[in-house]
Amino acid sequence: MTQPIKGFSKLSKEQKIAWIGENYTENVQNTKDILRQYWNNDPKLQQLHDEFIENTISNYYLPFGIAPNFLINERIYAIPMAIEESSVVAAASKAAKFWLDRGGFKAEVIGTEKVGQVHFIYTGNSENLFRFIGKIRPSFYAEAKSITEKMEARGGGISSIEIKDKTDLLPNYYQLHCTFETLDAMGANFINSCLEQFATTLKAKADRDGFLKEGEKLEIVMSILSNYVPNCLVRAEVSCLVSDLSLDTTIPPEKCAEKIVQAVGIANVEPHRAVTHNKGIMNGVDAVILATGNDFRAVEAGVHAFAAKDGGYKSLTNASIEDGVFRFWIEIPLALGTVGGLTSLHPMVQLAHEVLQYPSAKQLMEIVAVAGLAQNFAALSSLVTTGIQEGHMKMHLLNILNQMKATKEEKTTLVSYFKNNTATHSAVVEALDKLRENL
């Protein structure tokens, strides 16, 4: 049994790799070879990657692709996507091409409010607490001035500070519920710094101003931003005449429109379907967020909370047919940034922003929402017509062939063959076996 190690973080990269290989893999040299082949040839760039996180031993690559021809608010975009899943980029590209000739995507940012909270315990009278917070509220702003002045100079800063009584949920639990405007920055560090200063101000004022009576306690539990940002919201939509919704030559456009509306309706009442429905949306959302150096985990958490905001987990997209017009739209919370963090450090992230023509945070919100909407449209279009597997498996074909160590010539032959034949895993295996038998 491998024993715990002390001081792992103090080892050199080579020593870390050696220890991992010797204790957790079967072939030390193979482990070293795999890890080293993904190092950057430029030592300076590799050092940059090494310093992004702790205990780095190599780089983990994801494919970086482009989905072209997105017409968004009358402007053509080529959208960078970083993702490992087959068919996502192809599906987004197909949806972009479909809507390019039908007016494209319309998007607008509804709000950019971000949230943070100071959570604390107070054992005294709630009315006294509310009066006290009202009295010292100016001090919160004043004592955080050194943190906020640069953000305020750009037009952002603290939007509001409210006291909330949560004692019906947890004994003696209160919070300062605070909102912020962080402009083109995602703002996590800014918000957390403000919140910690609020907590310091609150505790110091309570202790020094004689607010606490004998036997009363005010204790800060934690100060942290929230990744649930229902008022940092963006909307994207497409629309066309129902007669123009020609998705499949064997199914009338009217039927396609009707089935998409029904599919969205099912996702609104059936959580098992809603989760997969929304996962497909996040295929597009996460891929762009990763490519642009934003925090996809934060976005995922906030988006799924938003999908359940009405008490049940539902679709993030909506669809309707009115007066012969098909409409398809999404409203989704996205707290994104285009400055700070990896955006100024990672060369591929910088390139992604350049490809997008250096969008503002609001523009990036619109682009990401459109990517999610396009992905969902592509998935629903397949589901209500040919089924999801036909297109997905053709995109997955090369993965199967690579797993079977197919040669370049074998790949060329089988890719051509499966253009007109159904590609399942077993069918690919069988076709490759036959091809090899005939050589």
Q: Using only C-alpha atoms, what is the Rg of the chain?
A: 27
Token reading at 409: 């010539």
From residue 58, give the alpha-carbon distance in Å to each of 11, 48, 82, 235.
15, 12, 18, 39
* DSSP H stretches of helix in 209-318: 253-269, 271-291, 296-307
- Transcribe 300-369 into DSSP letters: HHHHHHHHTTTSS---SEEEEEETTEEEEEEEEE----SBSGGGGT-HHHHHHHHHTTS--HHHHHHHHH
The one catalytic residue among 16, 119, 392, 396: 392
Distance, in Å, from the CA atom of 302 to the CA atom of 289, rounded to the nearest integer, reads 14
| Contacts of 367 by beta carbon, 8 Å cutoff, 6+ apart | 70, 72, 77, 79, 107, 288, 356, 359
85 in active site: yes
Residue 177 bridge partners (DSSP):
117, 162
279 in active site: yes
From residue 428, give the alpha-carbon distance in Å to each of 84, 86, 87, 277.
21, 16, 17, 28
392 in active site: yes
| Contacts of 341 by beta carbon, 8 Å cutoff, 6+ apart | 186, 293, 294
The one catalytic residue among 85, 108, 216, 244: 85
From residue 101, give the alpha-carbon distance in Å to each of 80, 96, 303, 325.
21, 9, 30, 16
Side chain identity, residue 193: S
The one catalytic residue among 106, 203, 255, 279: 279
The one catalytic residue among 295, 314, 366, 396: 295
Q: Residues with catalytic annotation?
A: 85, 279, 295, 392
